[in-house]
Amino acid sequence: MKRSTTPLPCCPPLLRGKLTPDEATQLAVIFRVLGEPARLQLLNLIAAQPTQEVCACELVETLGLAQPTVSHHLKVMYEAGLLEKERRGTWIYYRIVPERLTALRDVLS
């Protein structure tokens, strides 16, 4: 009996990934930012609002965190590109950047 000399593939070929190294780096930063439970809660609270925006002053009591802590988390999320902010008088309103959430959703689906 003669054996075939052509090796059989052990696994099916991998599908091509959609992310470039630069895209993966950018998204990893955002996922790291959301790795903090308080930030994930903040994002969830903002997303749950009918207007998808909230005044920073409303988040302090809701989360039970000190105002400087909430401000720090909002700043980190803003710098990561997850949130936009708008000053209205003495108050700052934050809203989600929809394109960033879409990018996160797309990479996981």
Q: How confident is the model over 57-83, as pLDDT tens digits?
A: 899 888 889 999 999 999 999 999 999
At 52 the pLDDT is: 85
* Residue 43 falls inside a structural domain: yes
Domain of residue 86, CATH code: 1.10.10.10
The closest alpha carbon to 60, from 52, 51, 69, belongs to: 69
At 9 the pLDDT is: 67
* Residue 106 falls inside a structural domain: no
At 67 the pLDDT is: 92
Q: How many domains does the chain have?
A: 1
- In which residue ranges of the chain is pLDDT below 70? 1-9, 12-17
* Residue 62 falls inside a structural domain: yes
Residue 85 parent element (H or E): strand 83-88
At 69 the pLDDT is: 95
* Residue 11 falls inside a structural domain: no
Q: What number of other Cβ atoms are within 10 A of residue 30's Cβ? A: 18
The range of the structural domain enclosing residue 75 comes to 22-100
At 20 the pLDDT is: 84
